[in-house]
A and B are shown apart, each in its own frame.
Chain A
């Protein structure tokens, strides 16, 4: 007999990972049939949607005290980011076989595990589960096969080294704490623990793309299909941020936490400066991604400096949510329009005014122009940094935002006011739907800070 009750309890307790397990199994089965790419695409999207639905807490059994995985406010909220951030890729990604669906679902499952983890081992497993399919996705779905292979190799080795650092961190933690379980503020900071946190934090920062651990990011983003890069820059980055926050929360006054604002300042500055000189659009967006990561790291630093203040958590979450729309939109635009370099972009507005308009929305939102979502997001993070007393990093942030404004606006200018081949691109229905779905919140979310209310309720006090 199939034991229904424990399965029900498992689904109720874990939610999305259960859905993912089912979805993955179904896709593997579908791989044996014909039309497997289409079926697997649909199944993939459905699984993500099921995950989104199951994320919300229903009457849950309270987790057992030593539980490896347990949901809390952060896990619910962040999982929404992961699964929603994967949707554009699920919808737009070109699937020749069922493999991509398996891979991104596996990656999303890993992210879910990271969100739910209360134990360092689970964090590690989640990290690996998230990363390894990502390496494969880069290699298998790139547009230029040699370049994507190369990028996959670089990603693999750097990521592998980072994971190894994470492991060493785990070992040090266990040596000090005699357990692998962790909880916020559970450890008094001492050198060994500090070293442990630094190692684990380094792995997280690597995945976020902080400077000077960022070298893999532009290569990977450039060589991937644009929609895949969108998935990496939004869902994966959100997972890495959560990983960082979990690690930092163990000891919010540790050396790692204190270094974060400066790491953030460095990252946003270098990212912005790098983006200035770029002509290849996907690489440019990769650097802009680094710059935005710097803002988020600054936010996490402020969060830690104020002892895991809820207001800062809301700000970080809002930034990630807004970023999800803006960046997915920008990368989806590249996917739909097929543009590669600035030269291609010139005069685009004449041929395809609607698409160019959407592109302008994304650029302005990324730049942080009011009243877009990007503006409010930056405002919230900067306000938190100000409250935390991080004045010097904040000054860097403003400087970098200014530099960023230059290249975002220059892209808009190129699209509208430069002469070029005005190609008329319409894009597929799915592509346009994704673009509009990303553009509307990017533009309007700044006008409705009322969404902070539900965010608060999600994340809890």
Chain B
């Protein structure tokens, strides 16, 4: 029998059952598909709570569910395991996914109400939910890779959900392909690990125990490859560009996948692999550098964007960069903490953007179309403000504590990192306050829809409010009594120091808050004090628009590279074609068919021919045998 807490199995079984049930319902009552999903979300949430309790009291555990083993002689076998790992890290992720995921499921019921593909949405959405759950409880790299791929597939399906839109299809394909590039790194790392360990069944516990004895070159290779995979999935520079375009998907998708969970899978991978990564010289520093670069660059671009969801997308990229920076600085605890708080406040922000778009009856909204909404959409306004303050890192909102942990570490490191940290604090405040002011204050610039923009029903407002509450409270809750750190320490294979999260430190508080005030002030100045700045200023400088449009020409660079690669492969293909025009490559198909016909003709139907061949065959073999005579 399998010795595992029932809740752990439930975490995977409930979504599977829900998807099967939903599949049945889909065929004859598509509008009811969401019920099994909501039930499953509730079940998983309760299971996650229980599992967190179990981990806190009993410690980590590895559960082996099934071993695919082909053994035919002692010492000669192939093994691939399917197992589950419950430790502090996976418990925290489970809580995040189930809470945020469950609330967004609820939100989607309202948001997707008028959509014709209501049922299909929930099927895909819950498939993603399941894949993400499987990813965080995987107990070995192979299994994690499997779920990693599933998550990528779900992302493809959901970004391209409105597949009749050309932009959506292209964005889905772009996301998928870019992630694929990263996945190659993951796959290569998995193979190298299997080669090192000699079998395919090493779960994390066993693997990390080997850690120091692995050849440093191999380890470095694995580390960099894993970081490459994380770069693609968590949208670090240079593979970040798919994420803003992924906003083509419905808002719940953007909120759950491209803010709270899927994109954080890369950070999760880095955290899981920390015992290996920390052993590689220079890799943590590299991670921190890339993270910082990403954070700053995308924050700058976020300031220039006008589409609500795009601003938030770039903000997500920036915060992923912050998380990577945290890991690179050795503060895995801080990074994970930020992952947690970011999940809450970013999801809230996205859902608010969704509310606004919904109120304006458009798929997505632009800052130029919103404006002065605070009177008309008070709940959204409240939630947005809470989340924005959290994002900017205002004490005592959740974001303050998590950002503080990382920026504090950056300041401690000093030098470039310190400057980067301060810049990030400044820029984050700048773009989020800009968004706040433009959307909720200022003159009414929205076109007149049939009725005034108003709050959506409870189904949409409640989750937003709850998430906003989380964006406020989660930080204090986690830091108080070192709760989060204690949880994460369960089953942690790295050093305890890497998980430490400072509670409150005056220097970083001052530095962060002052940068924040600068940023808020700058935003106020740019938007409210000089209201024409943004739109008019842009309109008068079209080259600026181009600059902002293409992320300071980075996107043009990427499309250029892609086009070049495609052109090269086409050219090579043509050379081959023309070279072997007499049939070696192109003619393989017809050649084989001709061969087939020739062989077929040999079976003439005449018995004597058959017997001839029999005698000839025997004679040939006999000749071989008698050659030694």
A–B contact with Cβ pairs below 8 Å: the answer is yes
Residues of A with C-beta under 8 A to B2: none
CB distance A276 to B596 under 8 Å?
yes
Q: How far is the CB of A77 from chain B (nearest CB, A)?
A: 14
Judged by a CB distance under 8 angstroms, whether B213 is at the interface is no
B71, B602, B614: the one contacting A158 at CB < 8 Å is: B614
Stretch among A98-106, A189-197, A236-244 lining the B interface: A189-197
Instruction: Give the complex CA separation of A198 and B70 in angstroms.
Output: 34
Q: How far is the CB of B602 from chain A (nearest CB, A)?
A: 8
Residues of B with C-beta under 8 A to A201: 621
CB distance A273 to B596 under 8 Å?
yes
Interface of A is mostly: helix
CB distance A273 to B595 under 8 Å?
yes
Instruction: Give the complex CA separation of A161 and B628 in angstroms.
Output: 26
Stretch among B231-239, B314-322, B359-367, B605-613 lining the A interface: B605-613
B610, B614, B621, B629: the one contacting A198 at CB < 8 Å is: B621
Judged by a CB distance under 8 angstroms, whether A447 is at the interface is yes
Closest residue on chain A to residue B67 by CB atoms: A450
Instruction: Give the complex CA separation of A391 and B76 in angstroms.
Output: 20
Known: A154-B607, A449-B68, A450-B69. A198 touches B624 (CB 8 A): yes
Judged by a CB distance under 8 angstroms, whether A314 is at the interface is yes
Cβ proximity bits A194-207 to B, threshold 8 Å, 1 near / 0 not: 11011101100110
CB distance A197 to B625 under 8 Å?
yes
Instruction: Give the complex CA separation of A197 and B628 in angstroms.
Output: 14
Residues of A with C-beta under 8 A to B626: 191, 194-195
Q: Which of A378-403 contact B (CB under 8 A)?
A: 380, 403
Residues of B with C-beta under 8 A to A258: 624
CB distance B597 to A215 under 8 Å?
no
CB distance B625 to A254 under 8 Å?
yes
Instruction: Give the complex CA separation of A142 and B531 in angstroms.
Output: 91
CB distance B73 to A215 under 8 Å?
no
B69, B70, B595, B613: the one contacting A215 at CB < 8 Å is: B613
Residues of B with C-beta under 8 A to A311: 72-73, 76
Known: A161-B611, A273-B592, A273-B599. A212 touches B617 (CB 8 A): yes
The number of residues on chain B lying at the interface, defined by a beta carbon within 8 Å of a beta carbon of chain A, is 36
Q: How far is the CB of A165 from chain B (nearest CB, A)?
A: 6
Known: A191-B625, A191-B629, A310-B73. A276 touches B593 (CB 8 A): yes
Instruction: Give the complex CA separation of A198 and B68 in angstroms.
Output: 41
CB distance B76 to A213 under 8 Å?
no
Known: A158-B614, A215-B609, A277-B597. A403 touches B592 (CB 8 A): yes
Residues of A with C-beta under 8 A to B624: 198, 255, 258-259
Q: Which of A245-298 contact B (CB under 8 A)?
A: 254-256, 258-259, 270, 273-278
Q: How far is the CB of B290 from chain A (nearest CB, A)?
A: 36
Q: How far is the CB of A54 from chain B (nearest CB, A)?
A: 27
Known: A191-B629, A276-B596. A199 touches B609 (CB 8 A): no
Q: How far is the CB of A147 from chain B (nearest CB, A)?
A: 11
CB distance B68 to A447 under 8 Å?
yes
Residues of B with C-beta under 8 A to A61: none
Instruction: Give the complex CA separation of A275 and B624 in angstroms.
Output: 29
Judged by a CB distance under 8 angstroms, whether A112 is at the interface is no
Residues of A with C-beta under 8 A to B544: none
Closest residue on chain B to residue A159 by CB atoms: B614
Instruction: Give the complex CA separation of A198 and B69 in angstroms.
Output: 38
Residues of A with C-beta under 8 A to B68: 447-449
Q: How far is the CB of B628 from chain A (nearest CB, A)?
A: 5
CB distance A194 to B625 under 8 Å?
yes
Known: A212-B617, A311-B73. A199 touches B596 (CB 8 A): no
Q: How far is the CB of A39 from chain B (nearest CB, A)?
A: 37
B73, B603, B617: the one contacting A202 at CB < 8 Å is: B617
Q: How far is the CB of A347 from chain B (nearest CB, A)?
A: 22
Instruction: Give the complex CA separation of A256 and B600 in angstroms.
Output: 27
Judged by a CB distance under 8 angstroms, whether A157 is at the interface is yes
Residues of B with C-beta under 8 A to A78: none
Judged by a CB distance under 8 angstroms, whether A414 is at the interface is no
Closest residue on chain B to residue A407 by CB atoms: B596
CB distance A202 to B618 under 8 Å?
yes
Judged by a CB distance under 8 angstroms, whether A153 is at the interface is yes
Judged by a CB distance under 8 angstroms, whether A33 is at the interface is no
CB distance A449 to B69 under 8 Å?
yes
Instruction: Give the complex CA separation of A201 and B621 in angstroms.
Output: 9
Residues of A with C-beta under 8 A to B625: 191, 194-195, 197-198, 254-256
CB distance B592 to A276 under 8 Å?
yes
Judged by a CB distance under 8 angstroms, whether A218 is at the interface is yes
Residues of A with C-beta under 8 A to B69: 449-450
Judged by a CB distance under 8 angstroms, whether A453 is at the interface is yes
CB distance B600 to A213 under 8 Å?
no
A contacts, CB < 8 Å to B: 153-154, 157-158, 161-162, 165, 190-191, 194-195, 197-199, 201-202, 205-206, 212-213, 215-216, 218-219, 254-256, 258-259, 270, 273-278, 310-311, 314-315, 376, 380, 403, 447-450, 452-453, 456
- Known A198-B624, A212-B617, A215-B613; 9 more pairs at CB < 8 Å: A198-B625, A218-B603, A258-B624, A273-B595, A276-B593, A276-B596, A277-B593, A311-B72, A311-B76
The 4 closest A-B pairs by CB, nearest first: A449-B70, A277-B596, A194-B625, A215-B610
22 contacts between A and B (CB under 8 A): A154-B610, A158-B610, A158-B611, A158-B614, A190-B628, A191-B628, A194-B626, A201-B621, A202-B618, A212-B614, A212-B616, A259-B621, A273-B595, A274-B600, A277-B593, A277-B596, A314-B72, A380-B70, A380-B72, A449-B68, A449-B70, A450-B69
